[in-house]
Structure 1
Amino acid sequence: MNRWLIPGLLIAGLLAALGVYLYQQATPYQEVIDHGPSPEARANPYLAAEHFLRQQGLSVTHANSLDTLPFLEPHQHSLLLLGDRANMTPRQVNQVLNWTRAGGRLLFVAEALWDEKTGKSGDLLLDRVQLHQSMSKDLSNPPPDAEADPYPNLTKLYLEDEDAPAYVSFDPQFHLEDPKNLAQSWANSALATHMMQLSYGLGSITVVTDAELWKTPNIGQYDNAWLLWYLYSDTGVTLLFNIDHDNLLTLLLRYFPQALVALAALMGLWIWHVGLRQGPLQAPAPKARRQLQEHLRTSADFMLRYSGQESLLRGLQHDVLRRARHRHPGFEHLGVAEQWQVLARLTGQSTRAIRQALGPRPKQRLSSAEFSRQVAHLQTLRNAL
């Protein structure tokens, strides 16, 4: 036993010394692992804006449709339309404007450019407030001091009691115009106007060129968050940015694509099964071909059935007159009697026979024999020319 005691003590001492050394050399530190935005933040691009307004003491709600509008008291309340309004109906536009006229505060994003040819933009709400949106690059007369602006792409908001403006990051490529001079205030970048406010009944309307500055993480830049608070610091706020719900087909394509593919395959198999022949196969057509005379007779019967006698006779008469014009220059300028005399001389037929062939026909249907004689007479005249 004593033989293993001394080596064991040495090994234990070495391990203890190694542990003390490693402890002295180790430096504790903290590491933050970023797992990205939460599912709630990914689903709501304005989540940071909602939290910011709540931290300022405001009552903030989020709505997915305009169905909530009848339950919003207009007085001291703000409605921010931040989502796509392409499918907004005229009835919904009237509903929103009536709510604003009763005292509500409305903010919406201009979604379409003004078209001079049609006299409208297609954005029903923007057209109703009579503001126009265009591209900044299309402005003909840029401000003379634009080149001297140190922050040409930032929008400046000047306040009465402040020496320096607030800076916000609206998209500089769009521009708002007020052809009716209805706006009471506005905010500009070096080249364009990006926000306008106007009174509307007992309420007010704010139109902006875009709302990207209030999305995460843009709201933390410049004075973007402050502008949102400044506009609606004394009201309750409802943010609406999903006016149209996804329909059933969209949801099925998103969550059950395999089931839809299987259903389509089953439908194809069912259609193929139903379309199978149940009776005997049809015998192939005989290889023998009809004679030319049979084709001509069949074609003539078809034209007589669908065009009538008058159409066929008129075609032959026109053919006779066309050949006569070719044989006798100036034929078309002669009177009818003179034309018949020329035809009698060219064809060797009597003028009476020519009058019967080219004269107006009675409206009643000809008998088969009379029709055949008339056709034969016209063909004789045509062949003689």
Structure 2
Amino acid sequence: MSKRNAWVIGLLVLGLLALAGRYFYTHLERYTEVIDHGPSRIARTNPYLAAEQFLRQRSVPVDVTHVLSDLPDARLDTRTLLLLADRENMTPRQVDRLLNWTKSGGHLLFVAEQLWDEQKGRSGDLLLDRVQIHQVLSASLQPPERTNSTPLKPSSDLLLALLPPAESPQLTKLYLENESDPAYFSFDTRFHLEDPKDHAQTWANSEGSTHMMQLVYGDGLITVLTDSDLWKNNAIEHDDNAWLLWYLTQDSTVTMLLQTEHGDLFSLLLRNFPQALAALALLIGLLLWHTGVRQGPLQGTASRARRQLIEHLHASADFILRRSGQSALLRGLQQDILRRARLRHPGFERLGVADQWQVLARLTQQPTSAIGQALRPRPNKKLSATEFTRQVAHLQTLRNAL
């Protein structure tokens, strides 16, 4: 092929590629696809993350803690504690600390966790029992009478009323002064709060059930809810749930005590490093197999009549070698030599090491260097079979000479 033909073919190929590129470019269809990866890991471990961010957007200072010992000082400024953590293991001392904090001027908001037990006279929720509020199932209540909604006159600026049956009976309705339209909240209507001692100054109801109560406690305020699910990530945007959270915490510094679902160390390692854990388990198994005592099938006890003395000696020596190693056998021979030397030479044990070697050299007709090499302490390292046999033979020669 001539050089001219090669140039022509190259230009034709480039032209075809250009035409193909122009065709595909003019026929491409651009589109945008949004892939939903679900909530982030922080949102999965903190169900109230949206509530926390909402308050910060509303310029409400928010602190998050996971331990009850980090309570802020309610005497310095207005403080609101959202006790959203699980209180199953709360102690009476912790309850006293919370109530004393509230009495000094704090605003404590918590969720009733247990139902009132008439027979026991308590619910088991220490904090709820101390404020003398009862929680019962709404299904156990008598049907409410059909009356017109009458606004209540609480001590605060909240004005709450019963929700008429015709208007969304599953929602809790709240009226404010100078407002014609109420606010609606999606509390769990399966539960109902009772105030047998008439301590509550304000409350919020759905049809026939009470879901929020507020009572003055010393210089502070206590708010009791039937549930806080309306402020979780998947529900706070519904109805006026977010507004209620802001209304209860406005003009204060908020501390959220959360029960974040942190897994233990093993579960975290299992989720993030399963291959490493499997390799570690395999390595530990191999190490145990290597260092473990080898055990075979059980053998019947042999007749003592067939064993000779030499067999017993071999078996004993083999047992000591396997269990205690070479050092124990060599040390036994050395001690036997010294014991025989004490019998042959009275006062041998009171001599110095060099003098003892001189006496042994004279008794065994061996050079002092050979005596020292035989009786010198051995390092704890395994000898080769040849070296070990040589050492044993040397010691046995000295012992036999005595």
Task: Tell me what 1:66 maps to.
Answer: 68
Residue 226 of structure 1 corresponds to which residue in structure 2?
Answer: 243
> Helix, strand or coil: the match of 1:22?
helix
1:149 to 155, 163, 166: 166
Shift of 1:5: 4.7
1:17: Cα distance to partner?
Answer: 2.5
Equivalence for 1:195: 212
What amino acid does structure 1 have at the position aligned with 2:225?
A: V
Superposition deviation, residue 7 in structure 1: 4.8
Is residue 79 of structure 1 aligned with residue 81 of structure 2? yes
Q: Does 1:12 align with 2:14?
A: yes
Is the 8 Å Cα contact of residues 74 and 106 (structure 2) preserved in structure 1?
Answer: no
> Which residue identity is paired with 1:69?
L
Instruction: Look up the match of 1:129.
Output: 131
In structure 2, the CA distance between the partners of 1:143 and 1:164, relative to structure 1 (3 Å rule), is farther
1:302-321 maps to which residues of 2 (within 5 A)?
A: none
- How many residue pairs get matched? 266
Distance 1:70 1:18 in 2: 71
C-alpha contact 1:132 1:178 (8 A) present in aligned 2: yes
Residue aligning to 2:97 = 95
C-alpha displacement at 1:72, in angstroms? 5.2
Give the counterpart of 2:264 among 251, 256, 259. Answer: 251
Cα deviation code 1:141-176 (max 9, x no counterpart): 235377843312111111112212111111111111
Q: Which structure 2 residues correspond to residues 1-385 of structure 1 after superposition, within 5 A?
A: 1-69=3-71, 71=73, 73=75, 75-144=77-146, 148-242=165-259, 251=264, 254=267
Q: Could you say if the C-alpha distance between residues 238 and 9 of structure 1 is closer, same or farther in structure 2, counting changes exceeding 3 Å?
A: same
Question: C-alpha displacement at 1:103, in angstroms?
Answer: 0.7
Displacement of 1:219 in angstroms is: 1.1
- Give distance in 1, aligned partners of 2:89 and 2:76: 24
Which consecutive residues of structure 2, in runs of 5 or more, have no partner in the other structure? 148-162, 271-276, 294-300, 302-402
Structure 1 residue 256: Cα displacement: 7.0
Separation of aligned partners in 2, 1:242 and 1:199: 26
Q: Retained in 2: the 8 A contact 1:187–1:193? A: yes
Whether contact under 8 Å (1:175, 1:193) holds in the other structure is yes
**Distance verdict in 2 for CA 1:114–1:165, change over 3 Å:** same
Does structure 2 conserve the Cα–Cα contact (< 8 Å) formed by 1:143 and 1:190?
no
Q: Which moved more, 1:30-39 or 1:120-129?
A: 30-39
TM-score (norm 1): 0.62
Partner SS for 2:236: helix
Partners of 1:81 and 1:109 within 8 A in 2 = yes
Q: TM-score, normalised by structure 2?
A: 0.59
How far 1:106 moved relative to its partner? 0.6
1:203-246, Cα deviation, whole Å (9 max, x unpaired): 11100011111111211111111110011111000000239x98
Whole-Å Cα distance in 2 between the matches of residues 34 and 255 of structure 1?
24
Q: How far apart in 2 are the matches of 1:8 and 1:127?
A: 91
- How much identity, in percent, do the aligned residues show? 54
1:95: Cα distance to partner?
Answer: 0.8
1:70–1:49 Cα change, 3 Å:
closer
User: Cα distance 1:37–1:73, how it changes in 2: closer, same or farther (>3 A)?
Assistant: farther
Contact 2:75–2:104 under 8 Å retained in 1: no
Q: CA deviation at 1:179?
A: 1.4
- Are the equivalent residues in 2 in contact too, given 1:63–1:242 (CA < 8 A)? no
Letter of the 1:139 partner, please give it. L
Shift of 1:177: 1.0
2 CA distance for matches of 1:177 and 1:141?
15
RMSD: 3.3
Q: Is the 8 A contact 2:143 2:208 kept in 1?
A: no
Return the alpha-carbon distance in structure 1 between the equivalents of residues 194 and 173 of structure 2: 17
Does the 8 Å contact 2:72/2:79 carry over to 1? Answer: no
Cα offset, 1:54, TM superposition: 0.7
Structure 1 residues 236 and 17 mapped into 2: Cα distance closer, same or farther (>3 Å)?
A: same
In structure 2, C-alpha distance between the alignment counterparts of 1:233 and 1:71, rounded to whole Å: 18
After TM superposition, give the deviation of residue 43 of structure 1 in Å: 2.0
Larger deviation: 61-70 or 232-241?
61-70
CA distance in 2, matches of 1:165, 1:218: 19
